Amino acid sequence: MDAPRAAIAALESDAHTAPGHLSLLYRGRLSSCNYDCAYCPFAKTRDSRATLQRDAADLARFVDWAATRTDAMSILFTPWGEGLVRRHYREAMIALSRMPQVRRVAIQTNLCIGTRWLDRVDTRSFALWCTWHPSEVSLEAFVARCLELRRRGIRFSVGMVAMRELFDQIERLRAALPDDVPMWLNAYDQRTADYYDDADVARLLRIDPHFGYSVAPPPSLGAACATGESVLSVNGDGDVRRCHFVDAPLGNLYDGSFAARLGPRPCPNRICDCFIGYVHRRDLPFARDYADGQLERVPARPGEPTSR
């Protein structure tokens, strides 16, 4: 049996640890970005041609692996830089969205590119996690792109980094978006302990009711979490870890060595302060509040159908 088939067989034979659905957070070698946000360490970085070629080859391998699977899966791309300016990410998402076993494929993006390529995606499984960066693009241009996504039936969320100097911009964005477009906020990473006062938090909670988990994440050590069981982090080499924030390897995606190590395990970190980590904690309300939208950060709505 070849390596990809062995990986599938190993996972399917261990179905009790991954009952029918696996979510993968994929982060390849890409770290370049076309934006120049002052708070971001990847602002205006450039990858070498060799790095981009390797990243494209790694991603093609991942898509080929996904095509061989028969059990349901979801994928979130979390590049350090901006992926959608690269054709290989757009083509990967198109291909993955059309695979019947892929329930969801999403990516974190600054939404800087056109939308014609979206004609080729399957909107039943495709989603975007979009961030507005006011220093890089006007409110009017960003909202116009969001409205085009909505017109096309694309599932998406919109958000910002909640820096104090952007509070008015945050409220302007919320007012400019239709009520049915979900908006999220991330606490500013480089904040001091007194960066937000109680009035600030109350103001921001009116925009994102879950903002409190970002600004004051509850202790994580020992908390039950789906990562390592039904949610995994994968890099360009196929190395599997339970999440982006725990370095201990579980094996490799392509030789199937990760499958035997899937299972429930408590969080080993004192604090988890990133949404793509704490959204999978079993003691927090996200499985209920987001249901089918945990990866793309879209809260559930009553009566809303799940992905295919």
Which band of pLDDT confidence, cut at 50, 70 and 90, is reported for residue 222? very high
The CA R_g of the chain, rounded to the nearest whole Å, is: 19
What long-range pairs does 180-183 form, CB within 8 A, spacing at least 24? Answer: 180/301, 181/146, 181/150, 181/156, 181/157, 182/157, 182/158, 182/297, 182/298, 182/299, 183/157, 183/158, 183/159, 183/207, 183/208
Which band of pLDDT confidence, cut at 50, 70 and 90, is reported for residue 16? very low
| Residue tagged 């979490």 (tokens) | 225
**Residues near 272 by beta carbon (within 8 Å), at least 6 away in sequence:** 217, 220, 223, 245, 278, 281
Which band of pLDDT confidence, cut at 50, 70 and 90, is reported for residue 307? low
| Residue tagged 């870890």 (tokens) | 241
Which numeric CATH code is attached to 3-159+226-262+286-293? 3.20.20
Return the bridge partners of 240, or none.
234, 251
Confidence at residue 303, expressed as pLDDT on a 0 to 100 scale: 60
Burial (Cβ within 10 Å: 0-12, 13-18, ≥19) of residue 159: buried
pTM given for the model? 0.90
Which tens digit of pLDDT belongs to each residue from 140-183? 999 999 999 999 999 999 999 999 999 999 999 999 999 999 99
Return the bridge partners of 185, or none.
160
CA distance linking residue 123 with residue 176, whole number of Å: 24
Q: What is the arithmetic mean of pLDDT over 8-26?
A: 56
In Å, what is the CA distance from 58 to each residue of 132, 154, 172, 234?
Answer: 28, 27, 40, 11
Instruction: Quote the tokens at residue 261.
Output: 């190590």
- Measured N-to-C along each axis, helices 49-68 and 3-13 cross at an angle, to the nearest 10 degrees, of 50
Residue 239 near residue 272 (C-beta atoms within 8 A): no
Written as one string, the DSSP assignment of 217-255 is PPB-TT-EESBTTTEEEEETT-EEEEETTEEEEEEETTT
- Amino acid at site 233: S
Which tens digit of pLDDT belongs to each residue from 259-284? 999 999 999 999 999 999 999 999 99
Q: Where are the domains of the chain?
A: 3-159+226-262+286-293
